[in-house]
Amino acid sequence: MRYALTVQYIGKNYSGSQIQFENGEMIKKPTIQGELEKAISTLIFGDTENKNRQVKTVFSGRTDAGVNSKGQVAHFNVDETIVASKFLYHINEILPDDISVCDLRLVDESFHAQKSAKKRYYRFEFVNRKCKNAFDGDLIRVKYPTDEQRMQKALSYLLGEHDFSSFKSSGTFNPSTVCSIEKIQVKKLDDRVFIDIVGNRFLYNMVRTIVGTLLEIEGHDLPPEHMKDVLEAKDRRKAGQTVSPYGLTLMKVEY
């Protein structure tokens, strides 16, 4: 039987969501997937020592080190029937405090957490003020003023289907650079800025590089049309810096 679950996590203490390998050997760094598989295997089989009795998960996509999630989806296969209420209680007792499972459901065998996904919704949040605040946490702080309307105009050039090569980091293994952005919106609430972006797929560090380019436009008082020029250049050197992962959250995956 195949089950899908929704995972929430704070990514600060992990080397990304996915277990990583080098020369066929698993790299021993803490990951969300590693902690989740260990917890499920412990709950289902009682231990994680027997490799033939370890549950493997498939995530909807990779999130980088430091990136959070409120709606990551993963699926796994087991022979046993799972009672959702008991599973949720017990697995959250096993998982570290910065990871939780908030939903579990039985799905069809054809369901695939990654391949069946239609949309992914990310949010980036940053602080916009000169002085620090003890409650800013790990959010980046932009000291110069930003204009909501200018930022929205710049981001609007990214709507639709485009080649996002300019916003692709060198670590991208997938050769396809075409993505379709359905929604991208900026909103300022007091000294917090929220950037919401919904698309069918995202390249490695794409959202963080889009934000970096947006902040470059605002910081250097460039015209909003500069975002369009960067997009059309298909050249990573034309875009801004890749900003810190802190503040980036995978909000939801739609199927």
Which H or E run contains 217?
Answer: helix 206-219
79 belongs to the catalytic site: no
211 phi/psi in degrees, rounded to 5: -65, -40
Q: Which of 23, 20, 18 is nearest to 62 (CA)?
A: 18
69 phi/psi in degrees, rounded to 5: -145, 140
Q: What end-to-end distance do the CA atoms of the chain give, in Å?
A: 19
Strand pairing category for 141-142 and 119-128: parallel
DSSP letters for 28-81: ----HHHHHHHHHHHHHHS-S--GGG---EEESS---TT-EEEEEEEEEE-SS-
CA 200 to chain centroid: 13
DSSP type of residue 244: -
Find out whether 18 and 252 touch, Cβ atoms under 8 Å.
no
- Cα 66 to Cα 94, 168, 211: the distances in Å are 22, 18, 16
Q: Spot the catalytic one: 47, 64, 97, 221.
A: 64
Which residues are tagged catalytic? 64
